[in-house]
Amino acid sequence: DVCSSDLVKRMRQIPGLDVLLNRAREAGVFGTKMRAVIEANSPTGIAAIVDQQFEVAAKITSAGLMPILEPEVSIDFKDKAEAEASLKDALIARLDALPLDQEVMLKLTIPDFPNTYRDLIDHPRVARVLALSGGYTRDEACKRLAMNPGMIASFSRALINGRSEE
């Protein structure tokens, strides 16, 4: 679903989510991610994405799995750093409201400014902050990751850049 007025792409509804989560737990799966995309610094759109991510995270937690929130900030717009700041604020507000015994993982685009997500990395309700390459080349993603201690690489697009089929 696209909220064009807010320039964000929320997740679509997932029919049968409870059944899928139970199957995942029975199969020994640790956690599952949910991806949404932020394409502009729209505080209302970003808040809507974060709210949706935490709603689904509650279902994932209830199923006994680790929720991995993935509100990806697109690398291709000029106010990316401002969107990252808005995202961080929205995430902290929701994390602070979680019960003390709940944790989530965050999978975030590597920020424009080093240590933008330090407060998230250090937050007691965050198990890990994973860095997604977001479309950066492998070299650029690694360079940016090195400037953000505490973020853990979770690259996919960056790892397949330049790969050829044999």
Q: Which residues are designated catalytic?
A: 70, 107
**CA distances in angstroms from 3 to 12, 35, 85, 138, 147, listed in the order given:** 11, 15, 20, 31, 33
Per-position DSSP letters for 40-72, written without gaps between them: S--HHHHHHHHHHHHHHHHHHHHTT-EEEEEEE
What do you get for the CA distance between the two ends of the chain, in Å?
37
**Helix, strand, or coil (residue 134):** coil
- Which residue type occupies 13? Q
